[in-house]
Amino acid sequence: GAMTVRLYEPMRRHTTMLVGGPAQFWIEPHTFEAFAEAVAYCRERGIAVRVVGRGSNLLVRDGGIRGAVIHPKGGEFNDCHVDEEGHVVAGAGVRLKKVASVAEAAGIGGFEWMEGIPGNVGGALRMNAGAMGVETFDQVVSVTLLGEDGEIVTRSRDEVESFYRNVPELRRNFALKAVFSGEPDTAENIRQRWDDSRAKRRATQPVAASAGCIFKNPEAVPAGMLVDELGMKGTGEGPAEVSAEHGNFIVNRGGAKAGDVLGLIERIRGQARMKRNIELETEVKI
């Protein structure tokens, strides 16, 4: 059928941090229509709706999630192709790494920064994910989304305001797919930037289970540098540990609970407040 539904689905199976209790209703729509139907069904019944893609920037509490979690998957959600205008079209369920490799194969440059981002297109749009000085919305041409009235609409980039790790429109409405633009380039140049991104990431970021950067960078100092200066790298709360490689990552050494991670986040925020008078804001969604 056009959707799959499961009850009490453990969220630790669907987050890169590998923590989190059960989602009451787990819904996998495979078409935009099925997605719209699932949202309408829940809203009519007062069931809270959340959308989770790859779960890479998400910390789910141990008590789980009341209501429905919609996970766009399969069908048009996983379509990724280059159109006649040389734009890359990708459904919300496509991995960013896939977008980068489809662009590379077509000789379109500018997507290399996506190679190491462990997220899907939907989540990247929602939070304006970025790396290597580029943000998702730098490359958006248009976004197709499910509006509040249940209509599926396409908005050009100019119609959707985007900020550092924040796209207010996509907090209210759900992204279904997007069209991205890059620049035609040689295979060598693209490969070079891809390798540079990979090398930088490998040299500075952990490979262990994590949710990527935990905090937004405050204006005064990058969060990773701040945690480093506070001497908190390598400190832990149970199996949850501040990465020894990068201060803005918390890694799950195996079997950590969301409570361990949250405890560690609060400890870091407390130290930053006390010693540097900086109020850290989480980048991961809790």
Please give the full DSSP string across 174-202, using - where no structure is assigned: EEEEEEE--EE--HHHHHHHHHHHHHHHH
Instruction: Say whether residue 124 binds ligand EPU (CB under 6 A).
Output: no
Please give the full DSSP string across 72-130, using - where no structure is assigned: --SGGGG-EEE-TTSPEEEETTSBHHHHHHHHHHTTEES-GGGGG---BHHHHHHHT-E
The 3-state DSSP class for residue 43 equals: helix
- The stretch near ligand EPU (CB under 6 A) out of 141-149, 150-158, 221-229, 273-281 is 221-229
One residue of 55, 91, 109, 212 binding ligand EPU per CB under 6 A: 212
Cβ proximity to ligand EPU, 2 vs 134, nearer residue: 134
Token readout for 77 is 């959600």
- The stretch near ligand EPU (CB under 6 A) out of 13-21, 34-42, 102-110, 240-248 is 240-248
- The stretch near ligand EPU (CB under 6 A) out of 19-27, 91-99, 141-149, 210-218 is 210-218
- The stretch near ligand EPU (CB under 6 A) out of 184-192, 213-221, 252-260, 267-275 is 213-221
The 3-state DSSP class for residue 63 equals: coil
Rounded distance between C-alpha atoms, residue 88 and residue 85, angstroms: 9
One residue of 225, 239, 282, 285 binding ligand EPU per CB under 6 A: 225
Shortest distance in whole angstroms from residue 63 CB to ligand EPU = 24
Shortest distance in whole angstroms from residue 43 CB to ligand EPU = 30
Rounded distance between C-alpha atoms, residue 99 and residue 19, angstroms: 27
Task: Work out the burial of residue 68: count CB atoms within 10 Å of its CB; fewer than 13 is exposed, 13-18 middle, 19 or more buried.
Answer: buried
Edge to edge, the sheet with strand 140-146 lists 80-82, 88-91, 174-180, 140-146, 152-156
One residue of 41, 47, 228, 276 binding ligand EPU per CB under 6 A: 228
Shortest distance in whole angstroms from residue 223 CB to ligand EPU = 6
Instruction: Say whether residue 213 binds ligand EPU (CB under 6 A).
Output: yes
In contact, 128 and 165? CB cutoff 8 Å:
yes
Instruction: Say whether residue 216 binds ligand EPU (CB under 6 A).
Output: yes
Shortest distance in whole angstroms from residue 245 CB to ligand EPU = 7
Question: What part of residues 132-191 is at the interface with ligand EPU (CB under 6 A)?
Answer: 132
Cβ proximity to ligand EPU, 9 vs 283, nearer residue: 283
Token readout for 139 is 């490359």
Rounded distance between C-alpha atoms, residue 13 and residue 20, angstroms: 8
Shortest distance in whole angstroms from residue 204 CB to ligand EPU = 5
Cβ proximity to ligand EPU, 57 vs 142, nearer residue: 57
Q: What length does the chain have? A: 286
Rounded distance between C-alpha atoms, residue 90 and residue 112, angstroms: 16
Residues with catalytic function: 165, 213, 283
Cβ proximity to ligand EPU, 98 vs 285, nearer residue: 285
Rounded distance between C-alpha atoms, residue 74 and residue 70, angstroms: 13
Shortest distance in whole angstroms from residue 213 CB to ligand EPU = 3
Interacting residues with ligand EPU (CB under 6 A)? 131-132, 204, 212-213, 216-217, 222, 224-225, 228, 233, 246-248, 283
